[in-house]
């Protein structure tokens, strides 16, 4: 009996030992990958973007025509002036100048009515011509004795100095041109031959040669040094009433081997003819400024 009890005691003791926690395998917890911190590059100096120039809105806008008056003369010298797109914005820029003279019995607005400002806008805004200024001097008193022969002097001694002093011009010969139609073309001949040092280009559009100048033109041509000739353009319609004297003048230039362009078109001595060729005229003047820049 004692042996039986001893056996049961030992069996119970062995069972308890077998179930003790020390022999149990603690389950390994699932491996949780560590949270990855984002890779941080070394702090770099931030370079601001290159600023982009804001386009000037005036580059799509037309130029404008202003009234002018020089009150140091009697009667006061009136003029209109065309200032190109962005003239008011580009305050450091200077510009070539074209002086366009009107015909007899007309006033300073003739070239404006013929479309010169619109033609200049088209050429400048399209990049076909550099921006330039146009001056339209008034010669409404052409038939007054005290003014008639003095208009040329006004252009040279009053108008040009005034424009160069009050507007941002390129005040040199290569960037200054003079042109005219009818009587204005006659004045352009007079000024271009007697003051060839002032003008790099002379445009003669159906020029009506002044009676007072006729006897002197050949001598004026001979007096211009060969190296000092301005660029010269002459045009006229095939039914122009001044065609005979225009061709005589052109023949003189050819005889003395003066470089020039001569164009005869279909048309007469009228605003219809001149307005049809305005943009062509301005293109020719602008070519002179391109070559001198």
Residue 94 maps to a domain:
yes
User: What pLDDT shows up at residue 293?
Assistant: 54
User: What pLDDT shows up at residue 59?
Assistant: 81
Strand bridging mode 64-70 / 97-101: unpaired
Residue 71 maps to a domain:
yes
User: What pLDDT shows up at residue 289?
Assistant: 94
The count of domains in the chain is: 1
Residue 15 maps to a domain:
no
User: What pLDDT shows up at residue 38?
Assistant: 44
Residue 25 maps to a domain:
no
CATH number of the domain enclosing 147: 3.40.50.1820
User: What pLDDT shows up at residue 147?
Assistant: 56
Q: Give the rounded distance of the alpha carbon of 8 from its chain centre.
A: 120
Tens-digit pLDDT profile for the chain (293 aa)?
444 454 444 444 444 444 444 444 444 444 444 444 444 444 445 555 555 555 678 888 999 999 999 998 888 999 999 999 999 999 999 999 999 999 999 999 999 999 999 999 999 999 999 999 999 999 988 666 655 558 999 999 999 999 999 999 999 999 999 999 999 999 999 999 999 999 999 999 999 999 999 999 999 999 999 999 999 999 999 999 999 999 999 999 999 999 999 999 999 999 999 999 999 999 999 999 986 65
For residue 224, give its domain range: 58-292
User: What pLDDT shows up at residue 22?
Assistant: 43
Dmax (CA) for the chain in angstroms is: 171
Two structure tokens written together for 270? 């009228």
What is the rounded distance in angstroms from the CA atom of residue 235 to the CA atom of residue 245? 12
User: What pLDDT shows up at residue 73?
Assistant: 83
Residue 251 maps to a domain:
yes
Residue whose token pair is 């003189």: 252
Residue 283 maps to a domain:
yes
User: What pLDDT shows up at residue 256?
Assistant: 97
* pTM higher than 0.75: yes
Residue 162 maps to a domain:
yes
Residue from 287, 245, 284, 239 nearest 265 by CA: 239
Q: In what order do the strands lie in the sheet with 97-101?
A: 64-70, 77-83, 133-137, 97-101, 176-181, 201-205, 231-237, 261-265
Two structure tokens written together for 111? 């070239």
What is the rounded distance in angstroms from the CA atom of residue 186 to the CA atom of residue 179? 9
Residue 74 maps to a domain:
yes
User: What pLDDT shows up at residue 11?
Assistant: 47
């Amino acid at each position: 009996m004692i042996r039986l009890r001893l056996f049961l005691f030992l069996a119970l003791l062995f069972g308890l030992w077998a179930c003790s926690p020390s022999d149990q395998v603690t389950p390994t917890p699932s491996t949780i990958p560590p949270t990855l911190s984002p890779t941080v590059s070394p702090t770099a100096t931030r370079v601001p973007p290159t600023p982009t120039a804001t386009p000037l809105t005036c580059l799509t806008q037309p130029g404008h025509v202003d009234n002018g008056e020089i009150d140091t003369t009697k009667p006061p010298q009136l003029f209109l002036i065309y200032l190109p797109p962005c003239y008011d914005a580009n305050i450091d820029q200077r510009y070539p100048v074209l002086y366009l003279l009107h015909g007899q019995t007309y006033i300073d607005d003739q070239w404006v009515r013929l479309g010169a400002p619109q033609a200049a806008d088209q050429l400048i805004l399209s990049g076909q011509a550099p921006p330039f200024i146009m001056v339209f001097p008034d010669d409404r008193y052409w038939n007054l004795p005290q003014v008639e022969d003095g208009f040329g002097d006004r252009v040279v001694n009053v108008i040009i100095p005034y424009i160069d002093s009050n507007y941002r011009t390129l005040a040199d010969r290569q960037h200054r041109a003079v042109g005219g139609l009818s009587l204005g073309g006659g004045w352009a001949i007079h000024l271009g031959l007697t003051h060839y040092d002032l003008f790099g280009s002379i445009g003669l559009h159906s020029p009506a040669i002044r009676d007072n100048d006729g006897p002197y033109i050949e001598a004026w041509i001979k007096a211009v040094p060969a190296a000092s000739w301005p660029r010269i353009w002459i045009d006229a319609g095939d039914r122009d009433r001044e065609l005979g004297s225009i061709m005589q003048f052109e023949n003189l230039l050819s005889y003395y081997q003066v470089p020039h362009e001569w164009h005869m078109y279909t048309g007469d001595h009228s605003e219809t003819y001149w307005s049809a060729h305005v943009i062509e005229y301005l293109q020719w003047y602008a070519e002179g400024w391109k070559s001198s820049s």
